Copies of this chain bind each other. A is one copy, B any other.
């Protein structure tokens, strides 16, 4: 280390010790959580320590103090090291750290400014922090306050154009109260950024954007402190510190390995990492962590309603459903089925191309990429570009399958999908995973709860939500065969396999997975299984519930809904907001064709939170018991229609 001006050796030593302590917390937090992002947390630890234990003007007893310096972790997945610093700085008890990502905790999978003291800006979706920081810096100017705003960026942030929009305005306006720190570990989810979409010459980029630039070794606290002094000294433009770091540093088996971007250590790995960090730790079992934290959750399980039963008309055509009941059915992750079918499709269709945006490992496109590298493009973290490029590719006679999480496809790239793909009816397939509350631990920024409503509102769009890994291959093939845009939504977790071989699937045609004349459950995606479980429980009460798998939400199978309405009572079940999605589509059909009492089960017009889906579903009124309750409520209305 070169000596930093005006900083004592003792202080450097103290900060280095703190950085080490934060790293140890990161290991334990992600171990306890069983998920999370250790790699980019470790690489940023020295900078976070320098900021929180020397540079930032803060008062942990007053998190809302208007004159505090602001810090934004734009690479929001690295929140473990940030939470660790906030705890050590006194914003909340260190023991809270062990609840990371659990249902009862205020520590979400990605930072939530409304839940965690000391978090000044929500983050997670990359490429957003610098623009939010521009707002804070402008706000300081307008309100005449002298606080500074610091934004930490990763490679993904720099691949997203929004970062460069913000950098342009900051340079134009000379926002000298804004400092960017790049945790430049050159590693992202899908590998090395130099391979995916390289950022060099990175310093030239910032200079051309009218920023002052300094490059440092981000592991050398002398250099980091010097650079912070330089960046906060009077100058005529905003300053960026490009800190060269190493992902996973200094844990030997995590070093510079993209695998550790978003994987939690197991018990042995955690103990080994801590040993390297100087701590002997006999890791307790993960289950110990959440004790006593449940009470922090503000939500209560939805109350259930009364009972009832009544006869109705009879639906048709039995489905080929596996014989097991409820939770006994074997489970499979839809993305795995997608990846396997994709590779097979690649052989059948030479004009199929697959596009990724840095999460190919999550979307399971690897087998296709290995076999057909010339037909695979990874855009890095740049979803808007990916969908526009998909439009361009489609015009050359190719069939692009553009793969990402549902929030990024339908929110980040909403205009690209609507105004360029759908308006032009281009033959692009939007493959989205991580739909719904079922995403769990990653938190609301990654839980797509509005995507079906949004895609359904877009003309020319077909919206497909397969229920299980058995129906996915057939529905995927039909989506690809359709000449036009399709939105195909999958969840994250394993879901029961419902269908036996021999079950036919047709886009736009619902499947009656269970007969029943008293009430109809119209469900999609992973909720079909829960609806079936609910129907099995209702049978024990003498209620015969029909269950429809509405795998195509648009175009809606109106005939099937009309037939279902013959029961006199309908419950829709979806892992999505109850506004405008499957429930909305069914409500519209009923009102226009056959007014019938309806109850919608789904996300109740609120944002979710991090946690185990098994805990979240009851909290948000989406468990099997809630479906049963909804049926009992709607049956009450069937017997005695409400006076208008």
A interface residue numbers (CB < 8 A to B): 66, 70, 112-114, 120-122, 124-125, 127-128, 131-140, 142-143, 145, 149, 159-166, 168-169, 172, 197-199, 201, 204-205, 207-209, 313, 351, 353, 374-375, 377, 379-380, 382, 384-385, 388-398, 400, 407-408, 410-412, 414-416, 418-420, 422-425, 444-445, 449-450, 453-454, 456-460, 562, 565-566, 568, 570, 577-581, 583-588, 590-600, 605-607, 641-644
Contacts and interface: CB of A to CB of B under 8 A. Distances in A.
Given A138-B377, A166-B388, 7 more contacts: A128-B415, A142-B398, A166-B385, A418-B450, A580-B580, A587-B590, A595-B597
A423 B607 contact: yes
A391 B121 contact: yes
Contacts of A142: 353, 374-375, 393, 396, 398
Number of copies: 2
A454 B456 CA distance: 10
Nearest to A597: B595
Contacts of A419: 122, 124-125, 128, 407, 411, 444-445
A578 to B, nearest CB: 8
A218 to B, nearest CB: 21
A414 to B, nearest CB: 4
9 contacts: A66-B397, A122-B419, A135-B395, A139-B398, A205-B209, A208-B208, A453-B456, A580-B584, A595-B595
A137 to B, nearest CB: 8
A196 B122 CA distance: 28
B607 A596 contact: no
A221 to B, nearest CB: 29
Given A143-B398, A458-B450, A597-B591, A163 B161 contact: yes
Nearest to A411: B415
Given A128-B420, A163-B161, A120 B395 contact: yes
A250 to B, nearest CB: 30
A600 B587 CA distance: 12
A96 B140 CA distance: 54
Contacts of A591: 570, 586-587, 590-591, 595-598
- Among A135, A140, A389, chain B packs the most CB atoms within 10 A around the CB of A135
Contacts of A593: 642, 644
B172 A165 contact: no
A419 B406 CA distance: 13
Nearest to A599: B592
Nearest to A418: B411
A392 B133 contact: yes
A132 B644 contact: no
Nearest to A158: B168
B580 A457 contact: yes
A384 to B, nearest CB: 5
- Pairs of residues from A and B, 10 with the lowest C-beta to C-beta distance, nearest first: A135-B392, A161-B161, A139-B396, A595-B595, A135-B389, A411-B415, A131-B388, A580-B580, A591-B598, A414-B414
B407 A415 contact: yes
A643 B570 CA distance: 16
Given A458-B450, A597-B591, A423 B444 contact: yes
